Amino acid sequence: MFPPSPLQTILLTTTAVITALTAIRMLDSTTTQPSMRPTNALKTTMTNLSHAKIVPRPSKTRGAANHGWLDTKHTFSFAGWYDPRYMSFGALRVLNEDRVQPGEGFPTHFHQNAEIFSYVLSGELTHRDSMQKKGHESDDKDKFFRLHRGDVQFTTGGKGISHSEYNEHNKDWVHFLQIWAMPWKRGLPPIYHTNTFSEEDKRKGFVTIITPLKAGPKATPQEEKDAVPAKEGTIPIHADLVFSAGIIPQGSTFEYTVGGGDVVSNKTDRKVYIHLPETKGGKAQIRLDGRTDAILKEGDGAYVSQVNVNDVLQVESIGEAEAEVVVIDSD
């Protein structure tokens, strides 16, 4: 029997943390792509990407677990939920939609050889490095930061890093996406990045949030330290991946340009995953590429493949409310 891989160790550790916390509780009781164009939501547009393969992923097929303090849904196999059909897509390995109750969260835990980021949809999420004790604050964002809507916190696990994530608000739940990508090499120097991305900009078009480290897989130690992204104003990631988000007004269309404006290395056969978070009580809905068989409700996602850099994917908001959409585009 082979020993578990580092990623399996991470997932097993995460499972152990969640299981332990559940048992305790049971015992106790910026860059915007030019993209907005008004459209009639009831009018079917002609497909712009006839060569693309688009496969919707219904929310009901996600793994789900409610631990009381944590209500989570997994797009890909994670922790105690495993389905061999849903392991990854391109470099994307984890896409969890989490809700954590006030006063609860994930105590100090270890990450290694994974690129991890949190995208806050509502509420407050407090990040502490393992050296920053609970109850203590710091002006250093690497050691301590309270994330709110619009904030993104990014971690390169690399050789190994430990931190905690808690909802320290006294009454509001926090709702956020936790996303993991596989890096282009192992044993990288651990690092944090935290940034805020304008909601106003997201209502104009897709905002590019994360792009590859400009120096690439062969970056020198100094280039790793400098952490210059391929696109200015974004967060650098050690993967050929672009992460973008937009808030599409009701009855409007945004256009996503594959490759995020040509900042990636692999130009062909990109793997683009679209996710529509559950933010509007079921009132948001989108249509991809004008296709009647590619309509997504809240919680749904879609695999978009057989697309190349600079292909343009139309995303229409056809529901009763604006639609907040995230895009993970990788090789």
Query: DSSP assignment of 95-134, as one string?
Result: EEEEEE-TT-EEEEEEE-S-EEEEEEEES-EEEEETTS-T
9/6 Cα distance (integer angstroms): 5
- Please answer whether residues 243 and 179 qualify as being in contact, where contact means their C-beta atoms are separated by less than 8 angstroms: yes
Say which residues have a Cβ less than 8 Å from residue 213's Cβ, sequence separation at least 6: 219, 223, 224, 227, 228, 229, 230, 236, 237, 238
Output the pTM of the full model. Answer: 0.85
199/222 Cα distance (integer angstroms): 33
Q: What angle do CA 158, 164, 167 make, to 5 degrees?
A: 140
294 secondary structure, DSSP code: -
Say which residues have a Cβ less than 8 Å from residue 326's Cβ, sequence separation at least 6: 119, 177, 243, 244, 245, 274, 275, 277
Q: What is the pLDDT of residues 60-114, one digit of tens each?
A: 999 999 999 999 999 999 999 999 999 999 999 999 999 999 999 888 889 999 9
Q: Phi and psi for 164 in degrees, rounded to 5? A: -125, 155
72 CB-contact burial (10 Å; exposed 0-12 / middle 13-18 / buried 19+): buried
**Residue closest to 151 by CA, chosen among 191, 121, 190, 116:** 121
101/78 Cα distance (integer angstroms): 20
What value does the CA radius of gyration of the chain take, rounded to a whole number of Å?
Answer: 19
3-state secondary structure of 203: coil
Q: What is the pLDDT of residues 182-196, one digit of tens each?
A: 999 999 999 999 999
- Please answer whether residues 56 and 293 qualify as being in contact, where contact means their C-beta atoms are separated by less than 8 angstroms: yes
Cβ-based neighbour number of residue 262 at 10 Å: 12
CA distances for 71 relative to 92, 164, 281, angstroms: 22, 18, 16
271/73 Cα distance (integer angstroms): 21
Positions of the chain with pLDDT lower than 50, given as ranges: 1-4, 8-13, 15-31, 36-44, 131-133
* Predicted local distance difference test score (pLDDT) of residue 43: 42
Domains of the chain in sequence order: 6-330 (2.60.120.10)
In DSSP terms, 163 is beta-bridged to: 109, 129
**Element of type H or E holding 53:** strand 53-57
Cβ-based neighbour number of residue 12 at 10 Å: 13
